[in-house]
Structure formats: structure tokens, C-alpha cells
A = this chain, B = another copy of it.
Amino acid sequence: MAKSRLKKPSDSTIHRLSVYYRVLQNVEREGFHTVSSKELAQREKLTPAQVRKDLSFFGSFGTRGLGYPVRELREKIAKILGLDKTWNVALIGVGNVGSALISYKEFQKQGFEIKLLLDNDQRKIGSNHKGLIVKDVRELEKELKVHRIDIAIITVPANSAQSIVDQVQGAGVRGVLNFAPVNLKTADETYLRTENMAMELEHLSFCLTSNSTPVSD
């Protein structure tokens, strides 16, 4: 029963696990019962060895000579990623980005349920977005606790993001997805991921500037 995971999987392994999870959903929809590491790899331009190595961090899910059972592997990965439960999510900052995320279907689909909206703008507080009433950010700690929030999405302006993440941690929330374009300082026990859309564009800008093709230099 005891899982003997020796090494901590890298962030890239986790990332690819999410990728495999999506591919498996497709493979399953297409009616396959079994899939090889080769097939899985081809669909994402990875190597079969990479796929097998990634999966081997978590156990032996395949059958030699046959491949992996599609449905079972998808379920195993879902469990590893924690997608077998629902997560209560709070969205802090109901501006442009925040509003967009409220109607982002992909979240609910994977079990992330936005249960709470917070803002500091009196004109927004009390307003209804997709059935949720925007609460006053001054009630942050109370509201996070009442709704048993697991993950906070921060979509406030850059200059207030640090103060928000401090409060969020204070309320015991350990998962934070930050969209504010700043580097936030967090306690060691908090998991923070920052999505900086401008930096993605800057990466493209770099590629287009260094006059090279993606392949060679």
C-alpha cells in the first residue's frame, strides 16, 4: 500500500502530467481502451521515454507489451493531481481579468469552483456575477473561512497584491494563483504560482527579435 516515491517530481513533470491528463481525455473520447507511451508522446511532441519516466515517479500503471489502460491511467493521474475532489476557490479583484475568469468554463470542468468574489470597490460590492454576490474585501478573512476556501486567485492591481496575499495567508489559505504582474513574497508553506501575461508576450518579442528560426541558431 505504501507508495515508495523516492524523488520529488519536478515542476515540469507535474506540468506534463496535466498534459497527459488532457490527452487521455481525448484518447478516451476516441474510444481507445489502451494507449502506449509512444502514442501519448506523439500527440504532444514528447519522447516515449519521457512519458514513461514521468509516470514511473508515481507507480507502475502500464502492462509490458500492451501499454496503459486509458481510463484507469486518466483516473490515476486525476488522483495524483488532486482532481478527484472539488476545490473551493476565491477570486479577489473583480476587474477585467477577474470577470473573465468567473465565466471560464475550464475551471469548473476540472473541479475548481469559484465560491467567493471579493473586491474593494463600493460600486462592485453587492453586485451579482454569475450568481455570486461580490463581498467587501475588508471581510476577507471571515469570508475565506466561511467558504472553506482552498485556493485564492488574485486579480487585483499590482500595488495591492502583496497586501492581499499576506491577508490570504493569514486566513490559512495555502494555494495562490496570482495574476498581478509583481513578484509576491510568501511564507514557506504557501504555494504560489504567478501568471504574467506580459512576460509571455516579451518572450515572443525576444524570439521574433533574435533573428533565428525556432530550430537552429
The stretch of A68-76, A117-125, A199-207 that contacts the partner chain:
A199-207
A208 lies within 8 A of B17 (CB): no
Partner of A181, one of B106, B205, B213: B106
| Given A82-B208, A175-B204, A204-B191, A96:B100 Cβ within 8 A | yes
B100 touches A8 (CB 8 A): no
Q: Which of A31-39, A136-144, A182-190 contacts B (4 or more CB under 8 A)?
A: A182-190
Contact A201 B217 (CB under 8 A): no
Chain A contact patch, size range:
35 or more
CA distance A65 to B113 in the complex (A): 53
From A21, A43, A195, A208, residue with most partner B Cβ within 10 Å: A208
- For A206, what are the chain B residues with a Cβ–Cβ distance below 8 Å? 14, 17, 80-82
The distance in angstroms between the C-alpha atoms of A45 and B214, with both chains bound, is: 30
Q: Would you call A28 an interface residue if the criterion is a C-beta within 8 Å of the partner chain's C-beta atoms? A: no
| Option from B15, B198, B217 in Cβ contact (under 8 Å) with A110 | B198
